[in-house]
Amino acid sequence: MLKDTMKAAGKLSIVVKDANGNVKDTREVENLVVDTGLDFIASRMGGASADVMSHMGIGTGTTAAAAGDTALGTASGDRVALDSATVTDNTIVYVGTFDTTYSGAITEAGVFNASTAGTMLCRTVFSAVNITVADTLTITWTITISAS
């Protein structure tokens, strides 16, 4: 019997720049496509009119990402509208830029289809990325759909 399986996996790149554009910190982090994200992907394949992923959020939560997550653990500030969402073959790349009004450690991020509430596609938790109000934080999030 033939059985096809699909996998949605991703990673993100985090870059923090100071007010002069100098890179202060960079990270590469794996992420988890959560259950609501997988449901969202399936709904899009079936032609449902779900809103596209449009926003990214950051936070200070430290609880590990879990499949049942529907929001960040502890959101920090407002979600930002995505700078871009580019599809190439079986990969989509989301870019979000935060001109921060927050100063402190950021430890989580997520991709959503609304500026508040909505559906979360994916979430990740990482070691602290320290930012100040003068910094710009850019997250480039790559999601790949593949046969496994």
Residue 135 is assigned to a structural domain of this protein: yes
4 in a structural domain: no
For 27-72, how does the pLDDT look when each residue is reduced to its tens digit (9 = 90+)? Answer: 999 999 998 988 888 888 787 767 899 999 999 999 999 999 999 9
pLDDT tens-digit map of 90-104: 899 999 999 878 889
Is position 3 within any domain?
A: no
* Domain boundaries, position 95: 9-147
Residues 6 or more apart in contact with residue 92 via CB below 8 angstroms = 85, 86, 142, 143
Residue 139 lies in a domain: yes
Structural domain includes residue 18: yes
Structure tokens, 6: 């699909």
State how many domains the chain has.
1
3-state secondary structure string across 85-131: EEEECCEEEEEEEEECCCCEEEEEEEEECCCCCCCEEEEEEEEEEEE
- The pTM score is 0.91
